Amino acid sequence: MSARLSSTKARAALGTSARVSVELLLVFVMVAVALWMLGRMWSVVWPLVVGLLLTTLTWPLARLLRRHGWPPALAASAVTVLFLLVAAGVVALIAVPVASQSGELSEGVVQGIQQVREWAAGPPLNIGDDQITGAFDAAVERIQDSAGSMVTAVVTGVGTVVNGVVTAVLALFLMFFFLKDGPRFLPWLTRQLPGSLATHVPVVAARGWNTLGAFVRSQAFVGLIDAVFIGIGLWILGVPLVLPLAVLTFVSAFVPIVGALFAGLVAVLIALVSNGPTDALIVLAIIIVVQQLEGNVFQPMIQGRGLGLHAAVILLAVTLGGSLAGIVGSLLAVPVAALIAVVWAYLREHLSDPEPEPEPAAEPEPEPGRDPETGAAHPGAAVAS
């Protein structure tokens, strides 16, 4: 006997599907509006984000000083000054050795270019000096023709540098205020929100703060692993500027993908101009192996354990963030995904139905003629029987 389709159930299913579709469409519209507003306020949001990330990195020291009786303003000032000194020391650690060996490096670059020309002149390329000169003249002519666009690019680059300096200064000021007044934020937020939001939002904010701290610490640890292994490889090969290259590798680890490529390119170039093409290829192989281990083993394991995210989620988040917002998107993809996971876990905790409590076992009924509490027979039970 074939079952017939119930028109009532079909209309109910279609109505439910339509209602859910409209609700999802409204959610997508709200997300799009929020992203548009975020883009319009990016000049303020980006320093705020950088300040928060720097605060998660420096807060343990500020908290230690405050526990030892330091006033909040003094502890925040000391930590901020120490951070500036460390940042200046890192820059000096990179710039001073490079400046002291700039002459040697420039000579190596000239020799490297000459070696490339000699190699290109031989088989199998057999490129003569006249061809190289013609290509050089064509490149110069093309550069002269595009002088206007180059000026525009230079102006854009200068504007980017200025914006970067302004962002760094604002982020440092925000870091100071976060270190000074951060513990008072959640109580203040609790007083400002109405009803149940005063309970839920501070809890989510506290969990998000712990998540950001886990991200920064894990990223720093991954950068330290890269710097140590690549630095050891460069030291074994006798490549100059080992310490500056290791520091550059550590710092660039905070910018996913592009930072690693930049640090690796610098290391290979220095190995090429100082030790020759063989050592440069070995350095390239070391960097590729370390980066593959970091990207496929260490980073997913460390970040996944600290953020509660699966390695596949981290990989997809970095890919999506990079495609949407470039370097900044790659940098913020993992912490944003972790914050979304925190919000979703909290919502799931409070929206899930509570597990039903087990029903108490039914007590056995007492036998006739016995006391219900002690189970002893009544004195008159035998007489009555």
240 domain-assigned: yes
pLDDT higher for 91 or 30? 30
Residues 159 and 209 in one domain: no
The model's pLDDT over 263-296, given as tens digits with 9 standing for 90+, comes to 888 888 888 877 778 888 888 888 888 877 776 6
**pLDDT at site 35:** 77
Is 262 found in the same domain as 144?
Answer: no
Say yes or no to pLDDT of 89 above 80. Answer: yes
In a domain, 65, yes or no: yes
Do residues 121 and 237 both lie within one domain? no
193 or 1, which is more confident:
193
Residues 126 and 195 in one domain: no
- 222 shares its domain with 335: yes
User: Pick from 176, 209, 224: which residue ends a domain?
Assistant: 176
Which of 54-58, 74-78, 337-341 shows the lowest mean pLDDT across its residues? Answer: 337-341
Q: State the angle between helix axes of 299-307 and 197-237 in degrees (0 to 180), rounded to the nearest 10.
A: 160
Q: What's phi and psi for 362, nearest 5 deg?
A: -70, 135
Q: Which domain holds residue 263?
A: 191-351
Least confident interval from 147-151, 288-292, 305-309, 346-350: 147-151
Kindly state whether residues 82 and 203 are assigned to the same domain.
no
Q: Which residue has the higher pLDDT, 141 or 334?
A: 334
> Shortest CA distance to 300 belongs to which of 281, 318, 327, 278?
318
Q: In the structure encoding, which two tokens stand for residue 19, read together?
A: 């209602």
Q: In total, how many domains does the chain have?
A: 2
pLDDT of 239 reads: 83
- Say if 15 falls within a structural domain: no
Residue that is last in its domain, among 176, 204, 223: 176
Q: Is the domain of 331 the same as that of 198?
A: yes
Cα separation of 221 and 302, whole Å? 8
Residue 11 lies inside a defined structural domain of this protein: no
Give Cα 10 to chain centroid, integer Å. 47
Q: Does residue 342 share a domain with residue 212? A: yes
Report the C-alpha gap between 185 and 322 in whole angstroms. 32
Three-class DSSP category at 350: helix
Q: What is the pLDDT of residues 293-314, one digit of tens each?
A: 776 666 666 655 556 666 677 7
Domain boundary pick from 119, 146, 176? 176
- pLDDT for the residue 187: 80
Any domain includes 30:
no
pLDDT at residue 73 tops 70: yes
Q: Is 195 in the same domain as 77? A: no
Query: What is the reported pLDDT for 147?
Result: 47
Same domain (yes/no): 318, 232 = yes
327 domain residue, yes or no: yes
Regarding whether 230 and 88 lie in a shared domain, the answer is no
Amino acid 385: pLDDT:
44
Contact 295, 334 (CB under 8 A): no
d(CA 47, CA 53): 10
Rg (CA), the chain: 33
What is the distance between the alpha carbons of residues 209 and 232, in angstroms, rounded to a whole number?
Answer: 35
Can you give the pLDDT at residue 82? 92
In a domain, 366, yes or no: no
pLDDT above 60 (res 134): yes
Print the SS3 string covering 212-238.
HHHHHHHHHHHHHHHHHHHHHHHHHHC
Residue 260 lies in a domain: yes
**Poorest-pLDDT segment among 86-90, 131-135, 205-209:** 131-135
Same domain, 217 and 309: yes
